[in-house]
Homo-oligomer: A and B are copies of this chain.
């Protein structure tokens, strides 16, 4: 494709941005992200990357840093470094910690079994004496008492209120959000209170947005209880609610004080929810971590069988990927958008089919298949990737085809209000190059998008 003047396809490189390993591999005008991920590479921040020639490939060798010879940018040691502190831990009950580095809004992700039995982990992040736990009618009966115990044990000055919302994506709306505000105001919670989100992605997104907006912003803590929330939605500060015309159209970027992932909570997770979360795990492999994808291919059966070690590793590595991306691009000026592989197609399914009919990860799985199909039609990837994606999603018992009810028109009307549209042009995350590489671009042949839509849905 010629290097035409498309202002959107170069958004990743046309302004100061940063990736841990970012290489422009051809002379088209789109940016190419090549991220061979931790554990062997250290993330670095380029404070200013020239848009014309970008090649960063930095690997930690002992304590020294070697860099490719063509780095033309000023590189400084990163504040966005993602640490895995589990390697050096001596206490076997101590959690694995992944840090999300965002300057004075940095916070830890605690990962491990039995963490709700360690009150100090939560209590050190509670501000003030009043706590409001936001949960739903599925998760509340299972874990609310345990969380209240963890918040108050040996800490009699803290009082805890709770609000229990109806479960499900279809309640992720303004009316339900108002119940959180009502409860907080009726309980006379002041600016020094803390909100705690206990549940899956819907609860985390709603509680986070309520915390961002209540009294113009109070502290909050995430306790995600689904794989989906643990590997994706609880990390990174995206909060919000749906509008009946589109998903997550109203919200805020607002970071929690900490994320506490007690992997024991997965024992009560329905199979379908487990599989839905694995869709996001698979996504990290596809967009930036080929080695992790290969590990998943070998371990997909263990993950489906809820092998605790396999799940813990998948969660940790997913959080590392997410934390690294968020640390580098909190407000989604470019790099962070790549985490939405399959989500534009997927949101169309969720919105068109009606919220709650399919789980988010189920829609994303189909969306990834469609994005991969389109990437192949554009000639950007070879067919082995197409097959491997189909294969792993099928093993995870995830759908690979949209619901019958969807039409091309339904896809197009929802995709037109996607947040990644800029000045009317839809930008997509597509795979390009070897496994583990993707682009975020509006510079693609419209014909390929039409062909993909026609191949997957009726006209």
Contacts and interface: CB of A to CB of B under 8 A. Distances in A.
Interface of A: 128-130, 174, 178, 181-182, 185-186, 188, 190-192, 209, 212-217, 238-240, 243, 245-246, 248-253, 331, 416-417, 419-424
A421 B250 contact: no
6 nearest A-B pairs in the assembled complex, by CB-CB distance = A190-B421, A216-B251, A185-B245, A215-B419, A192-B422, A213-B250
A216 B238 contact: yes
Contact of A185 (B191, B246, B331): B246
A243 B216 CA distance: 13
A428 to B, nearest CB: 14
A252 B213 contact: yes
Contact of A192 (B182, B191, B209, B423): B423
Nearest to A214: B250
Contacts of A252: 212-213, 216-217, 252
B251 A190 contact: no
Interface of A is mostly: mixed
B216 A253 contact: yes
Contacts of A188: 416-417, 421
A214 B251 CA distance: 7
A65 B426 CA distance: 54
Contacts of A419: 190-191, 215-216
A31 B182 CA distance: 34
B422 A190 contact: yes
B214 A249 contact: yes
A124 to B, nearest CB: 18
17 contacts: A128-B422, A129-B424, A174-B174, A174-B178, A185-B243, A185-B245, A185-B249, A190-B421, A190-B422, A191-B422, A192-B422, A213-B213, A213-B250, A214-B250, A215-B419, A216-B239, A252-B252
A185 B215 contact: no
Contacts of A422: 128, 190-192
A236 to B, nearest CB: 12
A239 B128 CA distance: 24
Contacts of A181: 243, 249-250
Which has the most chain B C-beta neighbours within 10 Å: A190, A253, A421?
A190
A423 B128 contact: yes
A128 B250 CA distance: 19
Contacts of A186: 245
A423 B422 CA distance: 44
Contacts of A250: 181, 213-214
A249 B215 contact: yes
Contacts of A423: 128-130, 190, 192
Contacts of A212: 252
A156 to B, nearest CB: 15
Given A190-B419, A192-B423, A217 B253 contact: yes
Nearest to A210: B250
Nearest to A417: B188
Given A213-B250, A216-B251, A252-B252, 17 more contacts: A129-B423, A181-B250, A185-B246, A188-B417, A190-B417, A190-B419, A190-B421, A190-B422, A190-B423, A192-B422, A209-B213, A213-B213, A213-B251, A214-B250, A215-B419, A216-B238, A216-B240
Contacts of A182: 243
A210 to B, nearest CB: 9
Contacts of A416: 188
B245 A417 contact: no
